[in-house]
Structure 1
Amino acid sequence: MGIDLNFTKGQGTGNDFVLFADPDGELTLTPAQIRAVCDRKFGVGGDGIIRAVRSANLPDGAAALAEDDAAEWFMDYWNADGTPSEMCGNGIRVYARFLIDHGLVDLADGDTLAVGTRGGVRDVQRNLTGFQVDLGRWRLDGGEPLVRARNLPVARPGLGINVGNPHVVVALADEDELDTADLGYIPQLEPEPAGGVNVEFVVPHDPLVVDGVGRIRMRVHERGSGETLSCGTGAAAAALATRHWAGAGAPNQWRVEVPGGTLGVRMFPAEDGEHVGLSGPAELVFDGVLGLG
Structure 2
Amino acid sequence: MNALTDIPFAKGHGTGNDFLILDDPHGRLALDADDVARLCSRREGIGADGLLRLVRTTAHPEAFTMTDQAEWFMDYRNADGSEGAMCGNGARLVGRYLVAAGHHPPGPLSLATRAGLRDLTVPADPHADVAVAMGCPTLPGPARITVAVGERRWRALHVDVGNPHAVAVVKDLAHAGELREAPAVTPANAYPHGTTVEFVRNLGSGHLVLRVHERGVGETPSCGTGACAAVAAVRHRGPQPAEPSRYDVDFPGGRLRIDVDADGAMTLSGPAQITARGTLGLRDGHGSGIARAAAAG
TM-score, normalised with respect to structure 2: 0.87
Q: Secondary structure at the match of 2:99?
A: helix
Write the distance in 2 (CA, Å) between the matches of 1:248 and 1:36: 44
Cα deviation digits, residues 172-208 of structure 1 (max 9, x gap): 1224425xx2211111111111111111000122xx1
| C-alpha distance 142-64 of structure 1, shift in aligned 2 (>3 A) | farther
Unaligned runs of 5+ in 2: 285-297
What is the aligned-residue identity percentage? 40
How far does the alpha carbon of each residue in 1:129-177 deviate from its partner, in whole angstroms, 9 at most, with x for none? 4111101122112333111124xx3211110111111111001122442
Match of 1:24 in 2: 26
Corresponding residue of 1:267: 260
Q: What residue in structure 2 maps to residue 276 of structure 1?
A: 266
| Corresponding residue number in structure 2 for 1:114 | 110
Secondary structure of the residue that 1:60 maps to in structure 2? helix
- CA distance in structure 2 between the partners assigned to 1:242 and 1:28 by the alignment: 40
Aligned to 1:77: 76
1:253 and 2:246 correspond: yes
- Paired with 1:183 and 1:196, the residues of 2 have a C-alpha distance of 15
Q: What is the TM-score with the length of structure 1 in the denominator?
A: 0.88
CA contact (8 A) 1:142 1:168 kept: no
Indicate the RMSD between aligned Cα atoms, in angstroms.
1.8
Distance 1:284 1:249 in 2: 36
Report the residue type matching 1:157 in the other structure: R
1:103-145 deviation per Cα after TM superposition (whole angstroms, max 9, x unaligned): 111123xxx2110000010000136841111011221123331
Which whole-Å CA distance do the structure 2 matches of 1:255 and 1:141 have between them?
A: 25
SS of the equivalent of 2:35 reads helix
Partners of 1:136 and 1:164 within 8 A in 2 = no
In structure 2, relative to structure 1, the CA distance for the partners of 1:129 and 1:177 (3 Å cut) is farther
* Cα separation, partners in 2 of 1:114 and 1:167, compared to 1, 3 Å: same
- Is residue 276 of structure 2 the alignment partner of residue 286 of structure 1? yes
Say whether residues 1:146 and 2:138 are aligned partners: no
CA offsets 1:231-256 (integer angstroms, 9 cap, x no match): 00001111111122232448721000
Q: Does 1:189 align with 2:181?
A: no
Q: Does 1:238 align with 2:230?
A: yes
Between the aligned partners of 1:248 and 1:61, the Cα distance in structure 2 is 36
2:8 matched to which residue of 1?
6
Of the three residues 49, 52, 57, the one matched with 1:50 is: 52
Name the amino acid aligned to 1:149: V
- In structure 1, runs of 5+ residues without a counterpart are none
Partners of 1:84 and 1:175 in 2: CA distance: 29
SS in 1 for 2:96: helix
Amino acid of the residue matched to residue 3 of structure 1?
A: L
Distance 1:32-1:215 versus aligned 2 partners, 3 A rule: same
Letter in 2 for 1:278: L
The aligned residue for residue 159 of structure 2 is: 161
Alpha carbons 2:97, 2:274 under 8 Å: kept: yes
Query: Aligned with 1:236: secondary structure?
Result: helix
Q: 1:244, 1:129 → 2: CA distance?
A: 31
Task: Say if 2:163 is the partner of 1:173.
Answer: no
Q: For 2:240 and 2:130, how far apart are their aligned partners in 1?
A: 30
In 2, the alpha carbon distance for the partners of 1:12 and 1:202 equals 19
Please give the secondary structure, in 1, of the residue aligned with 2:80.
coil
1:203 aligns with one of 201, 212, 217: 201
1:126 corresponds to: 122
Cα drift, residue 58 of structure 1: 0.8
